[in-house]
Every structure is written in structure tokens, then in C-alpha cells.
């Protein structure tokens, strides 16, 4: 029995089974959410867009002034090793940079903390379960507004999910699968763990604010360009979401995920729309063909 079968993690310079991966309660990554992270998936034995995820992680760390000792190559190798140790062909793979805790007791200065790097690989995760993706997700428009971009840069991937979690709770209270948040000005932003797209009159649109620069979003825009589908990053007023022909969500942990209801509105025939389906199918077909693929180095499976 592989002790890493449930997942493998790298913490404090050591590889451990996922259940043993812990951090200090004094770590500012925990007490202040003073950290950033990224998630890449492994599909059929290969990372998808690994370099793009490492690039975004590097930008996030720079913006938050986090500098763990491991360099990019060491981080990449650590991700390979976590997947290899767990022996996973399809995986959710996270990298996290945390502030750590002050070397000097009682210090309130971020510069006094030793930053550190954590990574882990666990079996595949879908933000929206596959059966729900098939029927089309039911999306609740949350009453809580997304935190303003000026307060926290949403392009830095983060765990400050207070607003997103409130939206999710509200969605579940109303019997919906998940939520979408608008900003205080009434423009559509993103949901708990995904970017959103609306389709209107054959055009595919995704919000220009309040959201992460998603790698799946980028992949969808590339597919649209290749297929000659008109697509743009643009302001999306709430009314446009409510009046859309189709809506779909996009994330590393699930891919292109069609929506069939937005609030009380039923889209099309209460099933995923044709363009959403086409993009979803294409996204996975291209994966199977090796699109942006980096094979996992399974030979690294030694702790």
C-alpha cells in the first residue's frame, strides 16, 4: 500500500503523506491569510500549462513580496515529485507561498518572517461535480459584493474567500449549486473558484474586473480565436448575465463547466447551451491531443 495514495505534500523541506502535512498556528499564512497560491491540474499523466501556472505564481509572489528559498526549477521538480509519489494520473496540484512567522518574538514586521513554500498533489477535484456539469450548474447571483480590486488585487490568487464563501452559503441556502458575485457597481466578477463567461448573440464575453486572470479563461479565449468565435474581456453588467443566451464557468479544477440556470432564469431548454458544450468538448479533446502538456516525471517517485 502506497502511504502517499491519498496525496503527497512537500512541507518544511520534506515529502510527507497528505494527512501529515501541517503548518504552525502562528504562521501568518494562517492568521492573516498572508500567502498566495496556484493550482495546476494533471490530466492523463501530464501537467496542463505548467509554465503558465508557475509564471502566474511568480507574479503573485512578487506582488505580495513573498520570497521562499526554493527557486522556480526546484518548485517545478517538487510538483512533479508530489504527483509521482502519489502515483496519480489525474490530479489537483497546489503550490503555496506563505509569510511564515517572525524570527523575533512579537515582531509585527512582515520582513522579520521566514517565507516558505508548500506543495501538494491530491486526486482530481471538480469545483462543480461532473453530474452537475452534465445537467448544467444552477448559479445564484449573490447579494454580497466582491471585495473591491483597489482593496485586494484579484489577479493575485488568494485564500481571502470571505465574500466568495458568503456567496456560496447563500447559493446553497437557496438550493443552488454555486454562486457568482457582482462588484459594488453591479458588474459581474467571478465565483468561488472559477471565472465566468456569458454568451450573447454568438459573442463570448468574460469580465474585465474583480477576477483572477484564469489560465482556463485564457485557454477558452485561445480556443475561441482558433475556432473563429468572437470573444472578448469586457465589462459585464448584471443585467447581461441575467439576459445571457448561455453561461459557463471555467477553472483548472473542472475545466469548462456549463450553467443552465442563473437565479430564477432558466437558460435555453434547461440544459447546457450549444457553444458551452462545444467549448467544453474541445477543451478536453485538445487535452487528450497533448495541448500545453508537460509529462509528469514519474521516475521522481522517491521521498
For ligand PLP, the binding residues (CB under 6 A) are: 39, 190, 193-195, 211-212, 214-217, 250-252
CB 283 to ligand PLP: min, Å: 11
Nearer to ligand PLP, 61 or 85 (CB): 61
CB 113 to ligand PLP: min, Å: 24
CB 211 to ligand PLP: min, Å: 6
CB 109 to ligand PLP: min, Å: 29
Nearer to ligand PLP, 46 or 193 (CB): 193
Nearer to ligand PLP, 164 or 301 (CB): 164
- Give the strand pairing for 178-180 and 195-200: unpaired
CB 288 to ligand PLP: min, Å: 19
Nearer to ligand PLP, 78 or 251 (CB): 251
Amino acid at each position: 500500500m502506497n502511504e502517499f495514495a491519498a496525496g503527497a505534500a512537500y512541507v518544511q523541506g520534506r515529502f510527507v503523506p497528505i494527512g501529515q502535512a501541517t503548518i504552525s498556528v502562528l504562521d501568518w499564512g494562517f492568521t492573516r491569510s498572508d500567502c498566495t497560491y496556484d493550482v495546476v491540474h494533471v490530466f492523463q499523466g501530464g501537467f496542463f500549462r505548467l509554465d503558465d501556472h508557475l509564471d502566474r505564481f511568480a507574479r503573485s509572489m512578487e506582488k505580495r513580496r513573498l520570497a521562499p528559498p526554493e527557486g522556480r526549477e526546484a518548485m517545478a521538480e517538487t510538483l512533479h515529485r508530489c504527483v509521482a509519489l502519489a502515483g496519480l494520473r489525474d490530479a489537483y496540484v497546489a503550490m503555496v507561498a506563505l509569510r511564515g512567522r517572525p524570527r523575533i518574538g512579537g515582531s509585527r514586521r512582515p520582513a522579520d518572517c521566514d517565507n516558505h513554500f508548500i506543495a501538494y498533489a491530491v486526486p482530481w477535484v471538480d469545483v462543480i461535480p461532473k453530474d452537475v456539469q452534465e445537467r448544467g450548474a444552477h448559479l445564484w447571483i449573490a447579494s454580497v459584493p466582491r471585495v473591491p480590486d483597489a482593496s485586494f488585487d484579484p489577479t493575485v490568487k488568494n485564500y481571502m474567500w470571505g465574500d466568495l464563501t458568503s456567496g456560496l452559503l447563500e447559493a446553497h441556502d437557496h438550493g443552488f449549486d454555486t454562486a457568482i458575485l457582482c462588484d459594488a457597481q453591479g458588474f459581474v466578477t467571478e465565483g468561488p473558484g472559477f471565472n465566468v463567461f456569458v454568451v450573447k448573440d454568438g459573442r463570448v464575453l468574460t469580465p474585465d474586473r474583480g477576477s483572477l486572470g484564469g489560465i482556463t479563461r485564457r485557454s477558452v479565449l485561445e480556443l475561441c480565436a482558433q475556432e473563429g468565435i468572437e470573444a472578448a474581456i469586457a465589462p459585464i453588467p448584471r443585467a447581461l448575465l441575467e439576459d445571457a443566451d448561455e453561461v459557463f464557468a471555467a477553472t483548472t479544477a473542472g475545466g469548462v463547466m456549463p450553467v443552465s440556470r442563473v437565479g430564477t432564469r432558466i437558460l435555453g431548454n434547461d440544459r447546457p447551451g450549444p457553444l458551452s458544450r462545444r467549448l467544453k468538448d474541445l477543451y478536453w479533446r485538445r487535452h487528450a491531443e497533448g495541448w500545453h502538456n508537460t509529462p509528469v516525471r514519474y521516475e521522481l517517485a522517491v521521498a
